[in-house]
Chain A
Amino acid sequence: MTTTTMTSLLPEAALAFAAVAGLLLGSWLPRRRQWVVRALALAAVAAGLAATAADAAGPAHTAASGSYAVDIGLHAARAAVLVATGLVLLAGSDGLAGDRRETEAYVLLLLAAAGSLVLAGANGLLVLAMGYLLASIPLYAMVAFAKDAPGTEAGLKYFLMGALFSVVLLGGTTVLLAAGGATGYPLLAVGLVEAPRAAAGAGAIAVLAALLFKAGAVPAHFWVPDATEGAPAPVAAFITTVPKIGALVAAYRIGAGLPLEAAGNWSLLVAAAAAATMVLGNLAAFGQDGVRRLLAYSTIGQVGFLLMAVAAYGRAQEALPGLLYYLMAYTVTNIGAFAAVCALPEARRLAQWRGLFGRRPWLALSLVVCLLGLVGTPPTAVFVGKLTVFTAAFDAGMVWLVVLAAVMTVASLFYYLRWILPLFRPAGGDDEADEVAGAALGAAGRWSTAVAVCAAALTLVLGVAAGPVLDWLASGALAG
């Protein structure tokens, strides 16, 4: 039992081990040689990916006495989280190399990634709470990593809201334990059948609220724009991507695993959150002039689309592969867009991106592919993700949500185009604006540019090769 548990938890173990080893190693390394820790972190990511690939074909089972589900949901989350972590580590090399706290940054990122994996695999409320804390606490510190005023403010805001929702999560867990007599989903599912409706409903809502906070969805989204703006760009890429993966898989698991329809209309509740999230995220992005805030609201909007699949869990055959595929697609596409921001950290306003195509055509093209990808233009991966998710929601009878999502997709096009258009505008005319743009577009980070190009290529490849990936995702079911 112990050996099987250990082998099936290899990716998580690799991350945790690399975090601890990296911390020790980093304390003894001189500042300019801390890249060794980065290499170690990347090696851990690679090892995790290899273990995932080896494990992915196996049947769904549970580990650690049934509290951890090793199934298609976890495999897909591992793939997405590890790829995202690797890309963020690479994209962050430009800004972090030689930093006084370079090692700490890598260690915290690895721990947060492990936390997100625990969230995705949790097959019980206690493990879920642990994953939540592990995925949250390192990121509070990472948001305030630069130790400047916006970062500190954002970090404080993120921390306060995170602390509030962790209490809510624990409260919900307690209520569900009292009502259902267990915290593991399989036993809880049995216990909740007889439980009072009010208690089951209240507990489930509290747990959902905490997961919505992690995913950055309405009504717990307030930290997203501030954290995205205040944190260093690679960290912003990380916190808008990786925690979402764990939180959404966890939310799906709860909907699919517990008999919550008896306590109230769970599907409708999630659908309402999805609708509110996509409307708020996409409409609020309209007025943004800063690229980071624009991307922050765009990620909120994307969570709205992703939540559609969580709401459509009744149609598991379409909803689960759709959710997992969309998560992967969103991960590479979003990281690609943020990598462009990492490459040009000085260009914070849309106008400063003017003429990028003339100066750095590859970076500009990658950004265009990623932004159009986020809109859902074929043949990028998010298009297939949206298609499958829309189909699942349509099939689950939520036609209104699909129509709303289609309308919001159109709305999203508008603000993405506000960013795309200046890229192609010739740098000419207004001298002052030119100087500003010239200064901002001066030196692009090489690593982050490479990551942006890779991510753009990945989103295209994933879109065209959607068939095998979706087949793989549809081949498994959730354990437990």
Chain B
Amino acid sequence: MLSVVVFLPLLAAGVLIALPRLTPRAVQTTWVAAAGVELVLVGVLWSGYTGGRGSGEGAPGFAGPLAYETDLEWIPSIGSGYHIGVDGLSLPLIAMTAVLFLACAVYSLRARQERPRGYAALFLALQTVSTGLFAALDLLLFFVFFDLSIALMYFVIAGWGHGDPARSALRFFLYTFVGSLALLVGFIGLYLAADPHTFDMVELAGQTPLDGRAVAGGAVLLAIGVGLAVKTPLAPFHTWLPPAHTDAPAAGSAILAGVLLKMGAYGFARIALPILPDAWRAWAPGIAALGAASVLYGALVALAQHDFKRMVAYTSVNHMGYVVLGLGAAGTAAAGTAPQAAQLAVSGAAVQLVSHGLLTGALFLLAGVLHARGGVYDMGAYSGLAGAAPRFAAVLAVAAFGSLGLPGLSGFIAEFQVFTGGLGLAPIPTAFALPGILITAALLLRAMQRLLLGRRRLPPGTAFGDLRPAESAAIVPLLVLSVLIGVLPRTLLDVVAPAAAAVAELVLR
């Protein structure tokens, strides 16, 4: 079942490529239909998910009970299998991925793409890769999807970007590829440390092969950490992100920020915490500090941007900083203590992943609307859009308020948990990160004020039409989900909390 969910989009992509002479319309319809079916299937998965109690295959000792597990041999001689499954950590991300890809498919109905067939096929392949990564329970499988996501996104940016896409795409590819190779070296280290040698995450989490070996554990954590930090991205490793986002097509940015960035942070929660608990605890204060630095740095640099899309890109650095702060703070709790605070921090981080995916996806699609109308992202070129495009203004306002953490939207649930959990465990970095919220609020409010309020001004020779139906249909559901999580957080927390508790327990054992 899960395998169908993972590979259905790839199948659709293959069909799109293989069928000759499809009209652009047919291509787009197929794409939307495939993404829609995928979402329905994920919905079925979610409704059937009972926290693993029903499926009876839950593997104790791992991050939450697993459901829909498939474990086939792939390369048995190096202990690697096709092992996939979902738990409370990955299921929300898989669902978010399906929602976001559907949103991008719908959004792409708004205008005719150049070379629509390749575009749709690339996105569908990316969807398989992203879903597969979140479902992977084998380090090698994880790595395969991780690497493929980079290559596919490279082609999206290089092929359909604007500005200087070749250069940005190359930079993106090189940075994240360096990261992925560091990740591979770390995985090999884990593989060799395990006895018997294996790439299976569940087995590795049970063995924690590098516990008690401070140097080796630290080195492997460093390699894995660098690999994931580039993708997350954490503050010193983020320099690929602004150009990649600025030059990518709108839907590409939404996927890049909404889904691909999650892979890094998710990797920390899925691999680093459960498999390297000793090393994680030893380095947790530093990791939390890095997260806090990312929060502050991302917020401050975003404050200085005039380019709307770049600003949103930097707020991603800020938001992903909260995730790492939460995960780092969870590691600072003393081993063997009651894991409530750590659980709260991890749960906040996990919710933030989903929330950020929805909100940033919406913001990047809105940036695409802005660019489609006015041709530039410079906020100085626009003002008074609220009068010309009231729906655009309302949607932008909701997305921005969500992004700055207003109660009632999903961002608040996430950040509140991170801070509540973090303050008790790692008070200093958390306290340093607090102003980040303030700065983000200031910069998003300022951006809204500049774009929406005041006398109407547009780039010369352009007209600013309001959101079209396809655009609304893509963006509004993202915000509705964000509000749903904000108002009824239990819908998500019931799934996330047990997994967060399991992760916290694993890292503190």
Q: A: which residues have CB within 8 A of B?
A: 321, 372, 377-379, 383-384, 387-388, 390-391, 394-395, 402-403, 406-407, 409-410, 413-414, 417, 421, 424, 466-467, 470-471, 474
Contacts and interface: CB of A to CB of B under 8 A. Distances in A.
Interface in B42-59: none
A424 B155 contact: yes
A372 B77 CA distance: 25
B151 A406 contact: no
B185 A390 contact: yes
Interface of B: 73-78, 140, 143-144, 147-148, 151, 155, 158-159, 166, 170, 173-174, 177-178, 181-182, 184-185, 188-189, 191-192
A379 B74 CA distance: 12
B178 A390 contact: no
A381 to B, nearest CB: 12
Contact of A467 (B73, B148, B188): B73
A328 to B, nearest CB: 14
Contacts of A470: 75, 77-78
A470 B78 CA distance: 9
A394 B189 CA distance: 8
Given A388-B78, A413-B177, A424 B151 contact: no
Q: Which A-B residue pairs are the 9 nearest by beta carbons?
A: A378-B144, A406-B181, A467-B75, A470-B77, A474-B77, A466-B75, A410-B178, A394-B188, A391-B188
Contacts of B73: 467
A390 B75 contact: no
Contact of B147 (A378, A388, A417): A378
Contacts of A417: 170, 173
Nearest to B73: A467
A424 B178 CA distance: 24
Contacts of A384: 75
B147 A377 contact: yes
Contacts of A424: 155, 158-159
Contacts of B144: 378-379, 383
Contact of B76 (A394, A410, A471): A471
A424 B115 CA distance: 11
A280 B79 CA distance: 33
A286 to B, nearest CB: 13
Nearest to A372: B151
A421 B185 contact: no
A421 B76 contact: no
Consensus secondary structure, chain A interface: helix
A372 B182 CA distance: 18
B83 to A, nearest CB: 13
B185 A406 contact: yes
A406 B465 CA distance: 50
A435 to B, nearest CB: 22
A342 to B, nearest CB: 25
B41 to A, nearest CB: 23
Nearest to B150: A377
A398 to B, nearest CB: 12
A391 B192 contact: yes
A302 B140 CA distance: 22
Given A372-B151, A410-B178, A424-B158, A402 B185 contact: yes
B188 A378 contact: no
Nearest to B179: A410
A18 B144 CA distance: 43
Contacts of A394: 185, 188-189, 192
A466 B170 CA distance: 30
A321 B77 contact: yes
A372 B151 CA distance: 9
Nearest to B145: A378
Nearest to A365: B17
A414 B155 CA distance: 14
Nearest to B82: A467
Contacts of B166: 421
A387 B80 CA distance: 11
A377 B148 contact: yes
Nearest to A463: B144
Contacts of A388: 78
Contacts of B177: 410, 413
A390 B77 CA distance: 15
Contacts of B189: 394
A410 B181 contact: yes
Contacts of B74: 466-467
Given A390-B184, A406-B184, A413 B174 contact: yes
Contacts of A377: 147-148, 151
B75 to A, nearest CB: 4
B244 to A, nearest CB: 15
